[in-house]
């Protein structure tokens, strides 16, 4: 029973995080549109490689913005 509670908490937490990510995406549509065009949309079914590629490109773009390039 304890393991079921742990898994339920993970599920609820993942959905909360997904909703937070959706809100942040709406606030920064242009930034994420560019990532989606270059990397494709991320979904629950995206591979770890897709996620890593997306995050790396996003971090690269954020560094460019921060340094004014």
Q: What is the DSSP letter of 8?
A: H
Residue 5, CA distances (Å) to 1, 2, 10, 11, 15 in order: 7, 5, 9, 10, 16
Q: What is the pLDDT of residue 52?
A: 97
- Strand boundaries in the chain, DSSP class E: none
Please check the confidence at residue 69 and state whether its pLDDT lies above 70.
no
Cβ 42 vs Cβ 50: under 8 Å: yes
pLDDT tens, residue by residue, 20-59 = 989 998 999 999 999 999 999 989 899 999 999 999 999 9
Considering the entire predicted model, what is its pTM? 0.68
């Amino acid at each position: 029973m304890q393991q079921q509670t742990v898994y339920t908490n993970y599920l609820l937490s993942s959905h909360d995080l997904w909703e937070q990510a959706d809100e942040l995406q709406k606030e920064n549509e242009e930034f994420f549109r560019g990532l989606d065009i270059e990397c494709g949309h991320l979904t629950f079914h995206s591979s770890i490689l897709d996620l890593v590629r997306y995050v790396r490109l996003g971090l690269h773009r954020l560094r460019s913005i921060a340094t004014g390039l």
